[in-house]
């Protein structure tokens, strides 16, 4: 877990010359992300979840996500480009409760290019949640939505 978080932080230090896009989102979570194109129709997104800091809940929490995104080829609905993918979210908490969590999920979304280099997206995700803490462990089902903005760097 520690290596995953350090890897996400290291991505923030990568020069913008190597990045394809950066952005942020609000919704079920709030965060920042770095997205790198693999091909013309696929990308990998690395995210840092900023909404899980939980300082007022008696614990410091941090989370992140890695997701693979695939455009649905040949589909464009009035400028809206659909995509799908899968991801793995992870989190850690220290404070009144100490623990880790994982959220493997599938996702789908729509992207709209407002004006180069800006685009907006709306996305939904669902999957199981797994958590292990000093207060116990649990397994459940999670879902989330995001509204985001991307800035293409090259």
pLDDT tens per residue, range 29-77: 899 999 999 988 899 999 998 765 665 567 788 899 999 999 997 777 7
Per-residue pLDDT for 24 more than 70?
yes
What is the model's pLDDT at position 96?
81
The DSSP output letter for 77 is B
* Domain that includes residue 34, residue range: 2-12+20-152
- The structure tokens listed for 54 are 């939980």
- 37: nearest Cα among 81, 72, 69: 69
Report the pLDDT averaged over residues 118-122: 96
Number of domains the chain contains: 1
Which CATH number fits the domain that encloses residue 144?
A: 2.40.160
What is the model's pLDDT at position 75?
74
Cα separation, 48 vs 67, in Å, equals 12
What is the model's pLDDT at position 76?
76
Per-residue pLDDT for 130 more than 50?
yes
Reported pTM: 0.80
The DSSP output letter for 78 is T
């Amino acid at each position: 877990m520690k290596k995953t978080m350090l890897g996400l932080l290291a991505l923030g230090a990568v020069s913008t010359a190597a990045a394809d896009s950066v952005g942020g989102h609000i919704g079920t979570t709030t965060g920042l992300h770095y997205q790198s194109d693999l091909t013309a129709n696929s990308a990998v997104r690395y995210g840092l979840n900023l909404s899980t800091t939980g300082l007022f809940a008696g614990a410091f929490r941090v989370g992140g996500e890695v997701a693979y995104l695939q455009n649905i080829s040949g589909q464009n609905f009035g400028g809206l480009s659909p995509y799908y993918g899968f991801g793995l979210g992870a989190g850690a908490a220290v404070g009144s409760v100490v623990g880790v969590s994982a959220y493997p999920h599938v996702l789908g979304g729509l992207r709209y290019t407002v004006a180069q280099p800006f685009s907006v997206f709306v996305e939904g995700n669902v999957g199981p949640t797994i958590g292990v803490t000093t207060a116990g462990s649990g397994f459940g089902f999670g879902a989330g939505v995001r509204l985001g903005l991307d800035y293409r760097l090259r």
